[in-house]
Amino acid sequence: MVSRNPHMAKLKAGYLFPEINKRKRAFLEKNPDAKLISLGIGDTTQPLEKHIAYSLTQAAFGLGTPEGYSGYGPEQGQPVLRERIAEKLYRNRIHSDDIFISDGSKCDIGRLQLLFGSEVSIAVQDPVYPVYVDTSIMMGQQEIIYMNCSPENNFFPDLSKLPRTDLIYFCSPNNPTGATANRAQLEQLVSFAKENKSILIFDAAYSMYIQDPTIPKTIYEIPGADEIAIELGSFSKMAGFTGVRLGWTVVPAKLEFEDGSLVKRDWDRIVSTCFNGASNISQIGGIGALDELGMAEMQNMVSGYLWNARKLRDLFVELGYPVVGGDNAPYVWVNFGEPSWDVFESLLCGAQVVATPGSGFGGAGEGFMRFSAFNSAKNTEEAVVRLRKHLTATKEVARV
Ligand code: PGU
What's the mean pLDDT when you consider all of the chain? 96
Structure confidence at residue 12 (pLDDT): 81
Please determine, for residue 55, whether its predicted confidence score (pLDDT) is greater than 90. Answer: yes
- Whether 51 shows a pLDDT value over 80: the answer reads yes
Helix (H, G, I), strand (E, B) or coil at 243: coil
Q: How far is the CA of 104 from the centre of ligand 1 (A)?
A: 9
Q: Residue 14 pLDDT more than 90?
A: no
CA–CA distances in Å: residue 244 to residues 51, 84, 254:
15, 19, 32
Q: Quick check: CB of 171 below 6 Å from ligand 1?
A: yes
Nearest atom in ligand 1 to the alpha carbon of residue 171 is 3
pLDDT band at 399 (very low <50, low <70, confident <90, very high): low
Strand-pair partners of 230? 201
Asked if 99 contacts 86 with a C-beta cutoff of 8 angstroms, the reply is yes
Per-residue pLDDT at 328: 98
**Could you tell me whether strands 199-203 and 144-148 are parallel, antiparallel, or unpaired per DSSP bridges?**
unpaired
Q: Give the residue ranges of DSSP H helices in the chain.
A: 16-30, 50-62, 79-90, 105-116, 130-139, 183-196, 236-239, 263-274, 280-289, 292-318, 340-351, 377-399
pLDDT tens for each residue of 225-259? 999 999 999 999 999 999 999 999 999 999 999 99
Ligand 1 pocket member 105 (CB < 6 A): yes
Q: What integer is the mean pLDDT of 192-205?
A: 98
Nearest alpha carbon to residue 284 among 239, 249, 251: 239
Handedness of CA 138, 140, 141, 147 (dihedral sign): positive
Peptide bond into 176 cis (omega under 30): yes
Task: Tell whether the model's pLDDT for residue 342 goes beyond 90.
Answer: yes
Nearest residue to 216 via CA among 246, 241, 188, 254: 188
pLDDT at residue 96 tops 80: yes
pLDDT of residue 344: 97
User: pLDDT at residue 397 above 70?
Assistant: yes
**Percent of the chain beyond pLDDT 90?**
96
For the stretch 56-81, pLDDT in tens is 999 999 999 999 999 998 999 999 99
Q: By alpha-carbon position, which residue is closest to atom 18 of ligand 1?
A: 42
What is the pLDDT at residue 37? 97
Cis peptide upstream of residue 151 (ω within 30 degrees of 0): no
Give tens-digit pLDDT for 146-182.
Answer: 999 999 999 999 999 999 999 999 999 999 999 999 9
* Count of beta carbons in the 10 Å neighbourhood of residue 186: 24
pLDDT reported for residue 44: 97
CA distance 297 to 123: 36
DSSP string, 324-347: EESSSSSEEEEE-SS-HHHHHHHH
Q: Are 315 and 159 in contact (CB under 8 A)?
A: no
Smallest CA separation from ligand 1 atom 17, residue: 42
Nearest to 247 by CA among 261, 258, 233, 237: 233
Local confidence band at 398 (pLDDT 50, 70, 90 cut-offs): confident
Q: Give buried/exposed letters for 354-392 (b at 16+ CB in 10 A, else e).
A: bbbbbbbbbebbbbbbbbbbbbeeebbebbbebbeebbe
Q: How confident is the model at residue 400 (pLDDT cuts 50, 70, 90)?
A: low
- In this predicted model, what pLDDT tens digit does every residue of 259-301 receive, in sequence order? 999 999 999 999 999 999 999 999 999 999 999 999 999 999 9
Give residue 337's pLDDT band: very low, low, confident or very high (50, 70, 90).
very high
Distance of CA 316 to the CA centre of its chain: 23
CA gap 328, 338 in Å, rounded: 26
Is the CB of residue 244 less than 8 Å from the CB of residue 282?
A: yes
CA of 42 to the centre of ligand 1 (A): 7
Q: Which of 45, 131, 133 to mutate to test the pocket of ligand 1 (most atoms within 8 A of CB)?
A: 131
